[in-house]
Structure 1
Amino acid sequence: MRSAFYITVDDRYLGIGQAQARRLHALWGIDVHVFVEGEGGKFRDENGRDGVFLHRNLMDDLIPQGLPATESWPRIVYGRIFAPYLLPQYDRLIYLDADIFPMVRADELLGLALPGGLAAVQDAASIGSAPRSAGGLDRAAWLRSIGVQGARYFNAGVMMLDRQAWASVDFGAELLAFMTRYGDAAHTQDQDFLNCYFQGRWTEISPRFNFQKAHFNYGYEQVFPPVFLHFSSFEKPWLQEAAPDTVHGQFFRPYQQMMGAAGVDYRQYLRPRRQSVMRRLRGGMRKWLTQRGIRTGKERRQWQEWRQKSDALYQGFRDDAAAGRYRDMDFLLDRRPEPELSFDGSYLRRSLDVSFDPVQ
């Protein structure tokens, strides 16, 4: 069975995608395809130097026109649905978002059965609640609003799919039909569509394979050692150096090294931290008070939100363990993790207790 990774990016993320692809190939030893949509003409790399194939503007005719897109959810995200049509030489394809750091190789992923054609990881941000974009709906009502009748909802940042089964579906027509019916409620558009289309049929795998930002503060990296670390928020570790006791600060240098190994100049991706003087002053004052044992309202609210999410994750993972939901592993969870967190004046934070494989 022949397998490959694929990544879809626009020109803004091209260097990030190339660096990620080089690391993936070095770790896993299988082909990696980078699809970039942007300026310039069509290009198809048939040779794949060092196992990485770069393709440009091959999906414009595949992705239907008129699909909703925003700056934070651009048109290129739909490419993860349509790129598999262009890779008929493979049996299995693994899609990764470009903001994922490949940590280690885990060959058992490639051998998993896919009776429904797709494997993915539950979306961590929506465990126990609906996303903020749902406008105050409870979780069950939010899922119904996007056509999902069950309780499981996956994050599409990592997906393994059966390419032949995928290619048999007219996803253009299916996606347009979904948008006609549910588009007003769909805010993570193609992810909501995929959850609706594959409901009751997707194979669930553990957070090892998509360890998301919403997992970071809760201590589960020892239960689910990350294979793919997903920076699934507006904060990205390559943008600016952060405090070393945050995950973004922890991975600032590894991202520089990964880009350097791929011949990408990391400096083109650096961005100044945008924060008003007043906000910095207020954050500094709250941190100063915390260091003296005085908790401000902001910190109390942060801890309250953390406890609510911690309760939801713990109960959710216990239920998953009891039900044996994860196809790749069995696990026990007899106590809640108790990670050490600090308050930086704005947010609770910690670094992860993880390691990753070095590659040349």
Structure 2
Amino acid sequence: MTTISIVSTTNTEFAQHLAIFYRSILVNDPRNDFAFYIFNDHLTAEAQVHLKRLELDHINCRSIKFLTVDEQLFQKAVTDERIIKAAYYRIYTAELLPELDRILYLDCDMICTGSLEALWNTSLKGNIIAAVEDAGYVPRLAEMNITSQHGFYFNSGVMLIDLKRWREEHITAKVMAFINQHPEQLKYHDQDALNAVLADKWYYLHPKYNMQSRLIRREQEHPLPPLEIIAEEARQAPILIHYSGRSKPWLEFGVRPHPLRHEYWKYAQIARTN
């Protein structure tokens, strides 16, 4: 049995959705234990109790712990109505969890449909993180004048991180320097900064581990045909469904319904019966 360490960020508004997401992980992987670390964005006591309830409901939920970051570190962080300052907190994961050498970062607007054991055991092949290419296939590295051998740009909603290498190469300091020195570059906020610093230092994960909304809707094909084949494999059997963008299963008035919204409500129903 393995203990898989997962970190996410949430505020009170999203706490119930994160709890449903974590429940889907625990239900689908009873063989392994899980230690969850949550960056606390002004969570109420009630929201924290709601999340801690997972320790009682699931024998494989080893712990739920809350992390705090000094907000003043992000005074120059670019934000908008969707991407708030707390989205940047994950940059400090390596510093706040010095006892860990590997962690899986996951956004809170997700659902898991299978075991994460294979993802957790993925070899990074000497890279600092593993991630899935962003489904917009945007040429952001070129737009930011970042030199890159392959030019791929990852979505930061799922990142398997070698925390030891991250510390050794001072990635936190480098990402924060980019944020503070190039605010005009941050069209996609901390995701841009992470890509700028980690260009050519990330391992390309199968998109089944970050099934983004644009990908499941087939909004565009991958410019490289072999990678579009892999994208279709992911559509047929996603492991981590990422409700990226504005279309959330719990907020579908005035937006196009998400094609995989039923997966969210399946685990929400399990939560109600516990």
Q: What TM-score, normalized by structure 2, do the two folds share?
A: 0.77
Q: Which moved more, 1:155-164 or 1:212-221?
A: 212-221
Q: Which moved more, 1:210-219 or 1:193-202?
A: 210-219
Change (3 A) 1:244 1:197: closer
Q: Is the 8 A contact 2:23 2:267 kept in 1?
A: no
CA drift at 1:71 = 1.8
Q: Is the 8 A contact 1:116 1:201 kept in 2?
A: yes
Change (3 A) 1:39 1:250: closer
Letter in 2 for 1:194: L
- The 2-side partners of 1:242 and 1:101 are apart by 22
> What SS does the corresponding residue of 1:14 show, helix, strand or coil?
helix
Change (3 A) 1:179 1:222: closer
Aligned to 2:129: 118
> What SS does the corresponding residue of 1:152 show, helix, strand or coil?
coil
Aligned to 1:24: 25
- The 2-side partners of 1:55 and 1:107 are apart by 23
Letter in 2 for 1:53: I
| Structure having the larger proportion of residues in strand | 2
1:35 and 2:24 correspond = no
Change (3 A) 1:255 1:143: same
Q: Is the 8 A contact 2:134 2:154 kept in 1?
A: yes
Q: Is the 8 A contact 2:21 2:108 kept in 1?
A: yes
- The 2-side partners of 1:213 and 1:158 are apart by 14
Q: What TM-score, normalized by structure 1, do the two folds share?
A: 0.60
Q: CA RMSD in A?
A: 3.3
Change (3 A) 1:38 1:8: same
Q: Is the 8 A contact 1:117 1:165 kept in 2?
A: yes
Change (3 A) 1:146 1:182: farther
Q: Is the 8 A contact 2:131 2:159 kept in 1?
A: yes
1:150-299 aligned at under 5 Å gives the runs 150=148, 151-218=151-218, 223-224=233-234, 225-240=237-252, 246-251=258-263, 253-260=265-272
Change (3 A) 1:258 1:99: farther
Higher relative contact order (CA 8 A, sep 6+): 2
Letter in 1 for 2:192: D
CA drift at 1:77 = 0.7
Letter in 2 for 1:254: K
- The 2-side partners of 1:82 and 1:72 are apart by 21
Alpha-carbon deviations, 1:262-290, whole Å to 9, x = none? x6xxxxxxxxxxxxxxxxxxxxxxxxxxx
Change (3 A) 1:12 1:247: same
> What SS does the corresponding residue of 2:81 show, helix, strand or coil?
coil
Change (3 A) 1:63 1:103: farther
Q: Is the 8 A contact 1:16 1:259 kept in 2?
A: no
Alpha-carbon deviations, 1:74-131, whole Å to 9, x = none? 0111122213322233332001111111110042222222212100000011x2xx4x
Aligned to 2:5: 4
- The 1-side partners of 2:74 and 2:65 are apart by 22
CA drift at 1:221 = 7.0
CA drift at 1:12 = 1.5
- The 2-side partners of 1:243 and 1:8 are apart by 25
Alpha-carbon deviations, 1:147-172, whole Å to 9, x = none? 43232000000000012222335455
Letter in 1 for 2:15: L
- The 2-side partners of 1:108 and 1:176 are apart by 31
Aligned to 1:81: 91
Gaps of at least 5 residues in structure 1 are: 131-138, 264-360
Identity %: 22
- The 2-side partners of 1:257 and 1:113 are apart by 35
Larger radius of gyration, structure 1 or 2?
1
- The 1-side partners of 2:122 and 2:147 are apart by 26
- The 2-side partners of 1:90 and 1:180 are apart by 27
- The 1-side partners of 2:264 and 2:210 are apart by 19
Q: Is the 8 A contact 2:110 2:241 kept in 1?
A: yes
- The 2-side partners of 1:24 and 1:96 are apart by 11
> What SS does the corresponding residue of 1:6 show, helix, strand or coil?
strand
> What SS does the corresponding residue of 1:223 show, helix, strand or coil?
helix
Q: Is the 8 A contact 1:17 1:34 kept in 2?
A: no
Alpha-carbon deviations, 1:45-79, whole Å to 9, x = none? 99x833241415x1126843331222211011112
